Structure 1
Amino acid sequence: MTGQQLKNSILQMAVQGKLVPQDPNDEPASVLLERIRKEKEQLIKEGKIKKEKNPSYIFRGADNLPYEKVGKNEPVCIADEVPFEIPESWEWVRLGNIFQHNTGKALNASNRTGSLLPYITTSNLYWDRFELGNLREMYFSENEIEKCTATKGDLLVCEGGDIGRAAIWMFDEDIRIQNHIHKLRSYTEVCTEFFYYLFYLYKHAGWIGGKGIGIQGLSANALHALLFPLPPLSEQKRIVSKIKESEPLMEKYADVEKYLDKLNTEFPDQLRKSILQEAVQGKLVPQDPTDEPVSVLLERIRAEKQHLVKEGKIKKDKHESVIFRRDNSHYEKRGSEEVCIDDEIPFEIPENWCWARMGSYLDVRDGTHDTPKYVLEGIPLVTSKNLCNGKIDFSTAKFISREDHLAISLRSKVDAGDIMYAMIGSIGNPVLYNGNAEFSIKNMALFKKIANGLDMEYVYWFLYLSQDTMKKFASGGVQSFVSLGYLRNYWIPVPPIQEQHRIVTAIKQILPKISTL
């Protein structure tokens, strides 16, 4: 049961007379209703309210069913309109029988007569509270002030917007209302808070603005005709007191529900990241002493990289480094200088692994940063907005000419096995591309494998895991970004190539099961 369902259930019990016991010493609701009728008749005599053309009242028949008499018509059984059973000491009433009600003034910019006064609209009225920080003003004549002013104790209900939303005006200062708010003022004493809770239940049960016995709108006529249960006045107060006593527990229940929902929503992703963290720390699969040492793998990549530099296929890395261990510490050789980097290492890895800069063992380049001229038909230009859940969404991509595409592809052609990574805006969202489509990229990094180098699926999962950290260190004001230099210098733990393959296999076996949790 959700927090909302619990509150609905408690309110349902309340308005059915099941939350607090009935007291036979209470004045019956029929007496209260008769007092309301007499007060209403007196106000009509005094000319303060208009007489209804077809007044109605509801009573119990000899069969104990509710009947309604409208004007001079014969009484009609309305048992099919009644949403639930109520105690014998209660009565069913139309809301208009116990409350005076009217809406406020419609906006009229050309009408500038009267007094300029603040007013509230539905945007100021929320459940059980008002937001009064942005009040507007308009002109009200004397007659409009009398009709459109809410005073302390009035129940205000939204006619428009979130129809049925209600709150009691509990301020000492009066306020004017706009025409999309109903003002309800009882003819004689009732517990207005009880009727606030009725509106809350009817709204959240779908009986206002929903299906069932409800109504889609809340015009004056619809409001007037709403069927409400009327308990004895003393019981109304006892019910409200019990609800208020229960509300802190309902709120605590709702908070726990939100926490559990958040936990359930986030748990799969947290578990996924936890598994990936174990993987890149060498704790997901066992190490095998017969694996080719990672130093051999890295030396092979360095040799191939030098060969590609000589052929002009990639640029020489000015900051290329080699990481090695000495006396159980990590050192980085930068040119002829050796620097201890223990304070830069983010976590421990197995002894047969090695830390490396991504740019030293991967070809890390980027797409265009320019904005080519867009065309109606042509080659898709993929940006960070098109990367989502490990895939490219071509449906929202814009198009560029083939000429511009060829110019961009000279430095950033995407081949199968490459990893795309958004550098600007929504940083991260890595995509390991395995297709053969023709497209260009903009504002994103491109990670390319160097010969028989790193397993690109292993690199993909490492980038997936690292994207939250990279976002924290992103630069920029309006639009955050990570630089190509930052990505090239980012630390990656490198296992032996055979272990990389085993890690990828284990990830493929485990992660699909997480989605079923």
Structure 2
Amino acid sequence: MGSIGDWGAGATPAKGNPDYYGGSILWSRTGELNNGIVYDSEIKITDKALQECSLRMNKIGDVLIAMYGATIGKVAIVGKELTTNQACCACTPFSIYNYFLFFFLMGSQIDFIKKGEGGAQPNISREKLISHLMPIPPLAEQHRIVEKIQYLLPLVEKYSNSQILQNKLNSEVKDKLRKSILQEAIQGKLVPQIAEEGTAHELLEQIKAEKQKLVKEGKFKKSALATSVIFRGDDNKYYEQVGKKCLDITDEIPFVIPETWQWVRIRDVFQLNPKNEAEDEKLVAFIPMEKISAGYKSDFTFDTAKWGTIKKGFTHFANGDVAFAKITPCFQNRKSAIFHDLPNGIGAGTTELKVLRPYGNTIDRWYLLYFLESPYFIDEATFKGTANQQRIVVGYLEDKLFPLPTQKEQQRIVAQIEKLFEQLH
């Protein structure tokens, strides 16, 4: 490259001399090389600095290249006469189209980095630059090459930006599809309704019978039998019968569900944070929050402890219970689980868990878990607490409307969700 122009590095005027700085002459550092045209510099120097510090004044059209450090190989074309520091080398071409040299240097950056390896930081010298081999086409072809590059580079940037957006979409699409699948599932749009499977009203009668059984066994108070009834009136509005009161709750209904389904309150169809009873010496599971995995799954591990040591001050759960984290960000990250294979069938853990226990086998555990992970349940939650950690407000879970399909449809929904989730891997 020494054959195609006059090459020279810059210098740095003594920083302690105020007579050298604050003038009108541009003094560019390598960080200001922008792979484009340089018209200005942050620091200006004086005529005195130019005369006394062996600085090279670079002409408009000269080509600059960075020789040191992180910016090695960066280039620019001088748009206004300027000087540079010693980390920058300039070339005044005399037998080559300056833009051809500019693009050649830009395309050779990796080669220059390799040539500069070996020291504390990458470093190429003027000697390495002028000895570097360069292919020279005829001048007219240089102009045609530059013209083609200048046509293509904006397209490269355009398609690069498109690729970045596509990569971002690809990284997010699985999560978006999972959420969409769960939302479709709880709206009754994922599988067809089958008339022979009955209605959710019949399922509610089973839940009522299970409650009555627990009352007779002395495990529940009779007041637990009091539940609200939600129905759609002849005027197509939704009403909730609570004792003798009938309230219009049309504005609460978030979406339409199939005719065979039933809107219910979570508190009416699940036991919430139930208590366990066991001998103090029994070994049971102990599950702090870090033992529960995030994501659309039910992965957890546990330690063992004697029941007497953890029965107080912790949240209870048993095999078949469904739990989710009520604190941020664990709530949004879908930290949740269906407990199973617990030692002696029970356990206890972090108080930041909410636990739901279906009455008998009336509600599929996986359907419940997927409901708790749906956008409808997650995105509408309200919180209170400090900025570092917030909890869902009391009553959000208890009062939440739950779309209840028949048992068989719950099972078909779960099977379809699992099939679709498998296809996302």
TM over 0.5: yes
Question: What aligned pairs does 1:419-498 form with structure 2 within 5 A after superposition?
Answer: 419-421=323-325, 423-425=327-329, 427-434=332-339, 436=342, 440-441=349-350, 443-466=352-375, 470=379, 478-479=387-388, 481=390, 482-498=392-408
**Correspondence for 1:500 among 398, 403, 410:** 410
Q: Give the aligned partner of residue 326 of structure 1.
A: 233
Q: Structure 2 length as normaliser, TM-score? A: 0.70
Give the TM-score of the pair, scaled to structure 1: 0.59
Deviation at 1:458, TM superposition (A): 0.9
**Aligned position for 1:41:** none
The structure 2 residue matched to 1:352, chosen from 227, 235, 260, is 260
Structure 1 gaps of 5+ residues are: 1-92, 367-378
Inter-partner Cα distance in structure 1 for 2:336 and 2:264: 22
Offset, 1:230? 3.0
1:242, CA displacement in angstroms?
2.4
Quote the residue 1:98 is aligned against: 5
Q: Displacement, 1:504?
A: 0.9
CA distance in 1, matches of 2:216, 2:102: 77
How far the C-alpha of 1:349 sits from its partner, in A, is 1.1
Aligned to 1:6: none
The equivalent of 1:280 in structure 2 is 186
The C-alpha deviation readout for 1:299-350, integer Å capped at 9, x for no partner, is 4445656858996889x99x97432222233222345432222333222211
Cα RMSD after superposing both structures: 4.9
Q: CA deviation at 1:283?
A: 2.7
Q: Is the CA contact 1:425–1:479 (under 8 Å) kept in the aligned structure 2?
A: no
Is the alpha carbon distance of 1:322 and 1:243 closer, same or farther for their aligned partners in structure 2, counting shifts above 3 Å? same
> 1:22 — aligned with what?
none
| Counterpart secondary structure, 2:134 | strand
Among 96, 100, 116, which residue is 1:194 paired with? 100
CA gap 1:459/1:468 in 2 versus in 1, 3 angstroms: closer
SS of the residue aligned with 1:423?
coil
Amino acid at match of 2:182: L
Alignment of 1:43-58 (within 5 A): none
The correspondence of residues 233-382 of structure 1 with structure 2, limited to 5 A, is 233-301=139-207, 304=210, 307=214, 321-327=228-234, 328-334=236-242, 336-364=244-272, 381-382=288-289
Alignment of 1:70-219 (within 5 A): 93=1, 98=5, 100-102=7-9, 105=12, 112-114=16-18, 115=20, 125-128=33-36, 142=49, 147=55, 153=61, 154-157=63-66, 159-161=68-70, 163-170=72-79, 172=80, 174=82, 177=85, 181-186=87-92, 188=94, 190-203=96-109, 206-209=110-113, 217-219=122-124
Q: Taking structure 1 as reference, are residues 250 and 341 closer, same or farther at Cα in structure 2, changes over 3 Å only?
A: same
Query: What is the one-letter code of the residue matched to 2:108?
Result: Y
State the percentage of identical aligned residues.
25
Q: Contact 2:323/2:355 (CA < 8 Å) preserved in 1?
A: yes
Displacement after TM superposition at 1:497 (Å): 1.5
Change (3 A) 1:225 1:189: closer
* Inter-partner Cα distance in structure 2 for 1:223 and 1:508: 61
Partners of 2:32 and 2:339 lie apart in 1 by 53
Query: Match of 2:350, as an amino acid?
Result: I
Return closer, same or farther for 1:352/1:403 CA change in 2, 3 Å cut-off.
closer
Q: Deviations over 1:57-92 (max 9, x none)?
A: xxxxxxxxxxxxxxxxxxxxxxxxxxxxxxxxxxxx
| Aligned residue among 511, 514, 517 for 2:421 | 511
Q: Distance in 2 between matches of 1:214 and 1:381?
A: 53
Distance 1:478 1:122 in 2: 43
Correspondence 1:387 to 2:282? no
Check whether the contact 1:151–1:174 (CA below 8 A) recurs between aligned residues: yes
Greater mean deviation of Cα atoms: 485-494 or 341-350: 485-494
Aligned residues: 392
**Could you tell me how far apart the structure 1 residues matched to 2:238 and 2:57 are?**
76
1:19-77 Cα deviation digits (max 9, x unpaired) = xxxxxxxxxxxxxxxxxxxxxxxxxxxxxxxxxxxxxxxxxxxxxxxxxxxxxxxxxxx
Partner amino acid, structure 2, of 1:340: D
Q: Which amino acid aligns with 2:254?
A: P
Q: 1:208 touches 1:214 (CA, 8 Å); kept in 2?
A: yes
Q: Any conservation in 2 of the 1:156–1:183 contact (CA below 8 Å)?
A: yes
**8 Å CA contact retained: 2:292, 2:336:** no
Q: Secondary structure at the match of 1:420?
A: strand
User: Cα gap change, 1:140/1:310 in structure 2, threshold over 3 Å: closer, same or farther?
Assistant: farther
Distance, in Å, in 2 between the alignment partners of 1:495 and 1:313 is: 26
